[in-house]
Structure 1
Amino acid sequence: MGFFLETLISGLMTGMLYALVALGFVLIFKASGVFNFAQGVMVLFAALAMARFAEWIPQWTGIESKVLANVLAFIGAALLMFLVAWLIERLALRHLVNQSETTLLMATLGIAYFLEGVGQTVFGGDIYKIDIGMPKDPMFILGSVFDGGLLVDPEDLIAAAIAAALVALLALFFQKTTTGRALRAVADDHQAAQSVGIPLSRIWVIVWCVAGVAALVAGMVWGSKLGVQFSLSTLALRALPVVILGGLTSVPGAIVGGLIIGASEKLSEVFLGPYVGGGIEIWFAYVLALVFLLFRPQGLFGEKIIDRV
């Protein structure tokens, strides 16, 4: 029982990190109705920015405190993501208002390749490390309940707490604020939102800024765990089953989908892997998402679209 719970907890913690990446997909889709293929590269770009700023700021300012340097690096990376969001709206999205979803989708592909190239040019192509002080050594918990306790990674627990806090804030933002309701109105119908006075350009800048901050938090956590390298952009592919299960229009769905995918990946690798061969953790989530699409295409929390003619 103890081994099963260790595997389950590890999967749930990984699922929370997947949810961080999936949040970006949900935010952009809620505001523009398009799937943002640039989200994985945004995670990479934000992580590169923070890693390099954390190296450069002590050299530029003489600051010796690592905590202060990391705080300033986070603020600098967040401001950079705000600038990226403004440029995306100014140079791309502003000219694509009321265009088809296919056109917007292709625009996000172009943005992804552009950000990847700029990131490599400005920040370099080496592997960098983000050290935000999270503990690395595993620890044992619930020793009084299980013989020897359960082995968990405290870094995963902290990352899961950060992800949960971000999801809670975003859920409140969309449900309780005027801007959040405007974002949902824009997602439903661009032309109708404009007709009632909602400024589409400002809304898109806001949502890309929020998605940029979500990408920065995801990049910071994943960079602390795995290092910042260009393979980090493939995290978007691991988050696809998450948004399929949770629903492309639901912020809480991103976290529920992440928990399901993370737990199923770990449990399938440990308990089914010996029977079907290694590597099941890589593809099991996609098979699960495919089966799920057959019964509930809109996801667990997604809105069912009904077209009347």
Structure 2
Amino acid sequence: MADFDYLFFLEVLTGGLLSGVMYSLVAIGFVLIYKTSGVLNFAQGSILLFAALTFVSLTEKGVPFALALAVTFAAMVVIGVAVERVVLRPLVNKPPITLFMATLGLSYVIEGAAQLLWGTQVHGLDLGIEDIPFEFHGILISTFDLFASGVAAVMVAGLLLFFRYSRVGLSFRAVADDQFAALAVGLRLPRIWPTVWAASGLVALVAGLLWGARSGVQFSLSLVVLKALPVLVLGGFDSIAGAIVGGLIVGASEKLAEVYLGAFIGGGIEGWFAYVLALAFLLVRPSGLFGQNRVERV
């Protein structure tokens, strides 16, 4: 039997972990909404697509990078606040399936609006980072993946600091722990929810730019949310830390499975292995690694 190539193993593992950070960034958008309102926002992928498509369309029309970024962020805030106020606020206290179907329908509305505004053509998005691998102690690492992971890590750290130390962040944590207790102490949910949706829009903007630069800005970009679902199952739907750990597990495991299991059972494992892993977690630990077990009285 040939000797095990540890350098190649570390190279595959590193690439998987870097991809996993980007999965985590998408999953965090789900977590922010789910923690405060209990809504699984299936429209997150369409919001991500709208952000990337708006930014790249503005830059192609000659708008400077910084201005296009600011305008796109403003659009994300407007969309987030409008969705919360017009669609979800009237559905408060409705069954979870009603809220889920509302966000599912909303995803098609947002995609249709993006198509009307910017068209259906595929765009290339250049963030100025060339995807040239470099060698580190014998391990080849993608420059773009490292950059994207660094941006995602800064975003995650910023969100953690904001929600831990700012007044709005503390209010957010109180609402996430117990909405009724938060109301009892005078917190105003109608002010907190739009803030959370705006934060989710910022996450969608960053994720949309990174994923758009990697795979092109096209309407299939919205399907990246499907990769976030196994991440949420593994880490927990209500934990930012869980989204990070879940993304790393999914990214690393699917790359390793593609390389080391693909030789035995065929290629294409990377596309579905994460869902097999998520199914196994559902059977053993339905709440995920960091998710809270909810006890309901009936």
Match of residue 18, structure 1, among 12, 15, 23: 23
**Match in the other structure for 1:247:** 236
**Match in the other structure for 2:225:** 236
**Match in the other structure for 2:39:** 34
CA shift digits 1:251-283 (9 cap, x unpaired): 111111101000000000000011111111111
**Match in the other structure for 1:84:** 79
Shift of 1:138: 1.6
Shift of 1:189: 4.5
**Match in the other structure for 2:273:** 284
TM-score after normalising by structure 1: 0.91
Q: Is 1:119 matched with 2:114?
A: yes
1:92 alignment partner, SS class: helix
Shift of 1:208: 0.8
Shift of 1:186: 2.9
CA distance in 1 between partners of 2:182 and 2:103 (Å): 22
CA shift digits 1:83-109 (9 cap, x unpaired): 101211231122122322222212211
**Match in the other structure for 2:3:** none
Q: Is 1:220 matched with 2:209?
A: yes
2:254 alignment partner, SS class: helix
Match of residue 152, structure 1, among 121, 141, 160: 141
Shift of 1:191: 4.5
Is the Cα contact below 8 Å between 1:50 and 1:130 reproduced in 2? no
Is the Cα contact below 8 Å between 1:28 and 1:34 reproduced in 2? yes
CA distance in 2 between partners of 1:216 and 1:173 (Å): 18
**Match in the other structure for 1:70:** 65
Is the Cα contact below 8 Å between 1:89 and 1:201 reproduced in 2? no
TM-score after normalising by structure 2: 0.94
Shift >6 Å, 4+ stretches: none
Q: Is 1:256 matched with 2:251?
A: no
User: Where do 5+ consecutive residues of structure 1 fail to align?
Assistant: 59-68, 143-148
CA distance in 2 between partners of 1:94 and 1:266 (Å): 41
Q: Percent identity?
A: 52
1:151 alignment partner, SS class: strand
Give, as a single letter, the amino acid of the residue that structure 2 aligns with 1:103. Answer: T
**Match in the other structure for 2:127:** 132
Shift of 1:190: 4.0
CA distance in 2 between partners of 1:259 and 1:122 (Å): 35
**Match in the other structure for 2:92:** 97
Match of residue 55, structure 1, among 54, 60, 70: 60
Match of residue 295, structure 1, among 278, 284, 293: 284
User: Where do 5+ consecutive residues of structure 2 fail to align?
Assistant: 1-5
Question: Relative to structure 2, which stretch is displaced further, 190-199 or 166-175?
Answer: 190-199
Give, as a single letter, the amino acid of the residue that structure 2 aligns with 1:116. Answer: E
Give, as a single letter, the amino acid of the residue that structure 2 aligns with 1:127. Answer: V
CA distance in 1 between partners of 2:13 and 2:275 (Å): 19
CA distance in 2 between partners of 1:174 and 1:249 (Å): 14
CA shift digits 1:233-257 (9 cap, x unpaired): 1100011100111111111111111
Give, as a single letter, the amino acid of the residue that structure 1 aligns with 2:186. Answer: G
Is the Cα contact below 8 Å between 1:8 and 1:267 reproduced in 2? yes
CA distance in 1 between partners of 2:141 and 2:289 (Å): 29
Shift of 1:2: 1.1
CA distance in 1 between partners of 2:132 and 2:210 (Å): 16
Give, as a single letter, the amino acid of the residue that structure 1 aligns with 2:107. Answer: A
Shift of 1:201: 1.9
Q: Is 1:44 matched with 2:49?
A: yes
Shift of 1:225: 1.1
